[in-house]
Structure 1
Amino acid sequence: MKKTVCELFAGVGGFRCGLNNIRTAEDYGKEEKWDTVWFSQWEPAEKSTQYAHDCYVYRFGTRLDKNGEDTTNYNIEDVDKTTLPDFNLLVGGFPCQDYSVASSLATSKGLEGKKGILWWSIRETLEAKKPPFVLLENVDRLLKSPAKQRGRDFGVILACFRDEGYTVEWRVINAAEYGYQQRRRRTFIFAYKNDTKYADRILKEIQYTEKLEEDKKIECMEKAVIEDGFFAKTFSVNRAENAKMKVKELPAEVGEVSDTFQCAFENSGIMKDGIIYTIKTVPNYHGKQITLGDVMETGKVEEQYFIPEEKLYYTDPSVTHSDETEQRLPKEDRQTWQYLKGAKKLLRTSSTGHEYVFSEGAISMIDQEDKPARTMLTSEGGFSRTTHIVKDKMTGGVRLLTATEAERIQGFPTNHTKYCLVKGETVEMPLRKRRFMMGNALVVNLVEDMEKTLDNIFDEE
């Protein structure tokens, strides 16, 4: 089977880098295995610039649709999916949103999702192009959202796949638990058409045994999730202690899923023909651990990254708590990293006029180099509790992460986001945007690992 790819919500090309093992500047232009025939990246919040798209184009060039038009920077909702080139693997990191359905009709084909919910563009692509394989990434809370109807959103996604003739495997993966340099938990979804050789191979016993006993069927599904399936072959796991497979059936219509469905999804599972099998697993990894220190700069770092002493501490460095229940600290004290990352107690007033004490615990001021980095967010580098602060290896000074360190934490080549191609001109991406792009990205190393399994699957199709 041809290794052709469509990358939706492409960002700066994390899936593309991972699939083609792009690790250094010398690797760009050497995409010999996986051919990305089309991609889409559009940032609605950016009015005058499209830095992610323009960085992607700088690194990889653009792609035209079947009409010879470049629609890669259009709102994906406005793109006619039938005009996309044919492909065999759909990939993308789509946002966690409200996947409820606006109207419940007789079949899923007539369902109307809320405007701006990007899942519906994925579903339209599945309907129009019918790719045999799909690999998607989302935040780990997808399995539990929304809070008032746990599991509904993921249930809607599974029902859409079911209606298009797919079986779906999923796994919540923390990159650090498989040796990589960031503690980042994400839900990965691998879907495949029921008529693929892969589906036949993984679920053969179920495919051809109509009256298989329920216990035997559960045993087969558990084997797929823990031993034989896509994620099991890529990221080894064991069954969690005392864990048992839960089984639940999806309602017949997507609208009904949206209205009534709830499910306590575990971190691993598989869905076939509308039947959900889910079980809690734990990583089975005993290899090398890459740490934050391993990806940090060892040479001279620009002065702009260092934090002035007056912005670092407002009092003795050993102080990690502040109590403002009697009186607020001066503004200049509160605008220090020591205050921001320290434990706090302060009075607040609710919307009903009730006064209460708000408190939060302290977090480490300086990130530990001998552990993987904490999860990087889009606010990285800003005045935020979640921003990483490190000790410079050359000077011992306290500073923020450089743009290249942020890239390495996500597994991108050094300086991947440095340049963009804007209206034919090469320009540098602003530092804050480079950090934002990395906070939005996935851990490329995980896709590199998945590529090895995908490669085998495609070779056998």
Structure 2
Amino acid sequence: MNKTVCELFAGVGGFRCGLNHIHSSDEIKEKDKNWKTVWFSQWEPADKKTQWAHDCYVYNFGTCLDNDGNDTTNINIEEVDKTKLPDFSLLVGGFPCQDYSVASSLATSKGLEGKKGVLWWSIRETLEVKKPPFVLLENVDRLLKSPASQRGRDFGIILACFRDEGYTVEWRVINAAEYGYQQRRRRTFIFAYKNELKYAKDVINRINYIEQYGDEMHRQSAAKMILKEGFFARTFPVNDVDNKKIKIEKLPSGIGELSESFSFGFENSGVMIDGVIYTVKTVPNYHGKQITLGDVMDQGDVDEKYFIPEEKLYYTYPDITHSDESMGKLPKEQRQTWQYLKGAKKLPRKAKNGHEYVFSEGAIPMIDAEDKPARTMLTSEGSFSRTTHIVKDKKTGRIRLLTPTEAERIQGFPTNHTKYALVSGEKIEMPVNKRRFMMGNALVVNLIEQMEPLLDEIVCRE
């Protein structure tokens, strides 16, 4: 089977970089051949004037045409005629996750019913029309628990869509730092494959599905698959787990019934075969080198614009980590400092019913530790936000924000991958805030790179 790829919700090409082990812009022409991308889609409705992510992708890799010779890579995926897409063996994508993101509380998320969540149906339509043999998707870890009012419903719908299209599905929540990489970023990965494939038949035979799916032998087979022999087990090893801890559940036959009533506690690892779910909580088994934030930071001169003025850092002594405004607000200039933003707080609040209370928030470290992996990077990186990284410059010891190249390396991208975009045929330098946004929205490329050798083996065997 040829190694051809369709990359949906492509961003700036994280899956493409990982699949082809691209570590620098100089390697693109040489390495961007192992897995051939035949079509991709990237459209951001929030970008009214310039589609920065798409144009950055095109600058690095060029564009792709559909079967009619048209470039449809930068229109709303819901409007794309899927019958016009070239055939491919692997569908990949980090489908939009705003409804499940750690940037907003799970309790207020709308899940698959939300504005961005409905884009799942474009993936399902692609499965129905193109019937790709293999699928590899990425989303936030909260996908497994969404929505708060009916935990597990959304992931159950996704699994049911795969079931109805004849796929077996494996999943794993992977924290990149727990396998030695440079960011504490926890994401759900989904690997699905058509049931008629050799690989799928091997998997199904391992599980040895029988009608009484709760028997002990069946449970042992499922454990072996999830812990030792499955796709994620072989690429990201985990510790053994007592077979009795494996949870088994059968999906309702209809999507409508599932949407109305299904709720289930999915664990971070599992497999779904013929609509039967096997899931268990696993713990990574990794004892190798740990890449840290310090390892990916710039070593030389850094532009002055990234350094934080002293008056923006502290409003009082550097060792003060708490502020108490329960009796009155601090002056505006004190509140607009990083010390205040990242410090512990007590603030008076009033509920909608008129109830008054004091809101408390704990302190977080002002300066990010260089000897640990970076915290999860969000799309707000670099803005005046509590989640923004602040580091001590390697050369001068002064305090500053991350540079775009550091943000790229935290995600495992080649240095300066997002520096340029091809806008209306012209090479344009991307704004710094957009470069950071792209990285906050991306995946850890290293994880795809680690999966690729086994993907290669599986696909080439068909």
Using the size of structure 1 for normalisation, the TM-score is 0.95
**How far did residue 136 of structure 1 move?**
0.1
Distance 2:29 2:204 in 1: 38
Q: Corresponding residue for 2:102? A: none
Matched, 1:9 2:9: yes
**How far did residue 220 of structure 1 move?**
1.1
Deviation string 1:10-69 (CA, Å, 9 cap, x unpaired) is 000000000000001211112121000000000011111100000000000000001110
Q: Does the CA-based 8 Å contact 1:203-1:220 persist in structure 2?
A: no
> 437-446 or 90-99: which moved more?
90-99
User: How many corresponding residue pairs?
Assistant: 450
> What SS does structure 2 have at the residue aligned with 1:28?
helix
Matched, 1:257 2:295: no
Change (3 A) 1:52 1:100: closer
Change (3 A) 1:174 1:114: closer
> Which runs of structure 2 are paired with 1:32-71 in the superposition (5 Å)?
32-71=33-72
Distance 1:70 1:339 in 2: 49
Distance 1:241 1:288 in 2: 28
Q: Corresponding residue for 2:362? A: 361
Question: Aligned letter for 1:441?
Answer: A
> Which runs of structure 2 are paired with 1:155-166 in the superposition (5 Å)?
155-166=156-167
Question: Aligned letter for 1:393?
Answer: K
Change (3 A) 1:184 1:398: same
Deviation string 1:119-176 (CA, Å, 9 cap, x unpaired) is 0000000000000100000000000010010000000000000000000000000000
> What SS does structure 1 have at the residue aligned with 2:149?
coil
Structure 1 residue runs of 5 or longer lacking an equivalent are 102-112
> Which runs of structure 2 are paired with 1:13-162 in the superposition (5 Å)?
13-30=13-30, 31-96=32-97, 97=99, 98=110, 117-162=118-163
Change (3 A) 1:213 1:376: closer
Change (3 A) 1:213 1:371: closer
Q: Does the CA-based 8 Å contact 1:99-1:156 persist in structure 2?
A: no
**How far did residue 243 of structure 1 move?**
6.7
Change (3 A) 1:302 1:346: same
Q: Corresponding residue for 1:394? A: 395
Taking only aligned residues, the RMSD between alpha carbons, in angstroms, comes to: 1.6
Distance 2:174 2:336 in 1: 36
Deviation string 1:413-433 (CA, Å, 9 cap, x unpaired) is 000000000010000000000
Distance 1:215 1:208 in 2: 12
Question: Aligned letter for 1:432?
Answer: N
Q: Does the CA-based 8 Å contact 2:214-2:248 persist in structure 1?
A: no
Matched, 1:334 2:314: no
> 208-217 or 129-138: which moved more?
208-217
**How far did residue 206 of structure 1 move?**
4.2
Change (3 A) 1:225 1:296: same
Structure 2 residue runs of 5 or longer lacking an equivalent are 100-109
Deviation string 1:299-326 (CA, Å, 9 cap, x unpaired) is 0000000000000000000000001111
Q: Does the CA-based 8 Å contact 1:100-1:258 persist in structure 2?
A: no
Q: Does the CA-based 8 Å contact 2:55-2:423 persist in structure 1?
A: yes
Change (3 A) 1:460 1:154: same
> What SS does structure 1 have at the residue aligned with 2:162?
helix
Q: Does the CA-based 8 Å contact 2:223-2:243 persist in structure 1?
A: no
> Which runs of structure 2 are paired with 1:407-422 in the superposition (5 Å)?
407-422=408-423
Q: Corresponding residue for 2:104? A: none
> 206-215 or 126-135: which moved more?
206-215
**How far did residue 459 of structure 1 move?**
2.0
Question: Aligned letter for 1:24?
Answer: S
Q: Does the CA-based 8 Å contact 2:17-2:413 persist in structure 1?
A: yes
> What SS does structure 1 have at the residue aligned with 2:446?
helix
> What SS does structure 2 have at the residue aligned with 1:82?
helix
Q: Corresponding residue for 1:233? A: 234
Distance 1:47 1:114 in 2: 18
> What SS does structure 2 have at the residue aligned with 1:407?
helix
Question: Aligned letter for 1:457?
Answer: I
Change (3 A) 1:77 1:212: closer
> What SS does structure 2 have at the residue aligned with 1:297?
coil
Distance 1:243 1:385 in 2: 42
Distance 1:36 1:256 in 2: 37
> What SS does structure 1 have at the residue aligned with 2:455?
helix
Deviation string 1:255-306 (CA, Å, 9 cap, x unpaired) is 1111100000000000011110000000000000000000001100000000
> What SS does structure 1 have at the residue aligned with 2:53?
helix
Deviation string 1:347-373 (CA, Å, 9 cap, x unpaired) is 011111111000100000000000000
Q: Corresponding residue for 2:345? A: 344
Matched, 1:221 2:222: yes
> What SS does structure 1 have at the residue aligned with 2:139?
strand
Matched, 1:203 2:166: no
Q: Corresponding residue for 1:108? A: none
**How far did residue 242 of structure 1 move?**
8.7
Question: Aligned letter for 1:158?
Answer: L
Question: Aligned letter for 1:39?
Answer: F
Matched, 1:424 2:425: yes
> 444-453 or 235-244: which moved more?
235-244
Distance 1:27 1:212 in 2: 49
Q: Does the CA-based 8 Å contact 2:219-2:243 persist in structure 1?
A: no
Q: Does the CA-based 8 Å contact 2:89-2:132 persist in structure 1?
A: yes
